[in-house]
Structure 1
Amino acid sequence: MLIPHPLLGLRDAQEFTYLGDARLIGRPDPSAPDAEAAFCDYAFLRDNPAGAHRELWFHEQGDRSWLVVTRDTVTHEIFAAELARNVALSQTRCSK
């Protein structure tokens, strides 16, 4: 499987380490009234969809960047890859 790294072009998936659901970028607010329940859900509950899914991948054997990869979990077709930093920053701007 080839991952289209936004800075380096196509890279073999063996260069990466898979972390999981890209929603892990959005950590719960520890000062929120429901922080304990939110962190429990954040740490232990994961979706396991069949089809398009956004995932975190770490370019361990490359530039050590984090990517958000949109991939079909059934066919392994990759639709997009973005730098996780850019995704996190865009989420922060949208939530303000």
Structure 2
Amino acid sequence: MLIPCPLCGPRDLREFSPRGAAVTLERPDAEALPEEWHAYLHLRDNPAGATRELWWHGAGCGAWLIVERNTVTHEVIGVSLVTGEPEQ
């Protein structure tokens, strides 16, 4: 599987490390209720199909990426850099 790194171009899967669902970028505020933290930490979807994941290009440029892919077919739908800005 090739992942199209926005900085390096198409690269082999072995250069990357998956780090879980991209939902981890949507961290609750420090003052959030315990229920919100529980949902953030423990209640995750495990979809069969399109998903957004956090990947690290550790053997390449070191960039953090959001990879949109289909978990059934492994087709990469899109890739973007993690910017630090919350996504809407």
> TM-score of the superposition, structure 1-length normalised?
0.84
Residue 89 (1) aligns with residue 85 (2): yes
Corresponding residue for residue 9 of structure 1: 9
Gap regions ≥5 residues in structure 2: none
Residue 65 (1) aligns with residue 63 (2): yes
Corresponding residue for residue 19 of structure 1: 19
Separation in 2 of the partners of 1:5 and 1:66? 10
The runs of 4+ residues in structure 1 deviating greater than 4 Å are: none
State the one-letter code of the partner of 2:9.
Answer: G
Q: Secondary structure at the match of 2:58?
A: coil
After TM superposition, give the deviation of residue 66 of structure 1 in Å: 0.5
Percent of residue pairs bearing the same amino acid type: 48
After TM superposition, give the deviation of residue 64 of structure 1 in Å: 1.1
State the one-letter code of the partner of 1:54.
Answer: R
Aligned residues between the structures: 88
Q: Secondary structure at the match of 2:67?
A: strand
> TM-score of the superposition, structure 2-length normalised?
0.91
Superposition RMSD in Å:
1.3
Per-residue CA deviations over 1:10-35 (Å, capped at 9, x if unaligned) read: 01111111011111101001113x1x
Gap regions ≥5 residues in structure 1: none
By percentage of residues, which structure has more helix? 1
Corresponding residue for residue 77 of structure 1: 75
Cα pair 2:26 2:86 within 8 Å, conserved: no
Per-residue CA deviations over 1:46-87 (Å, capped at 9, x if unaligned) read: 2110111010001111111110000000000001000012xx
Cα pair 2:7 2:61 within 8 Å, conserved: no
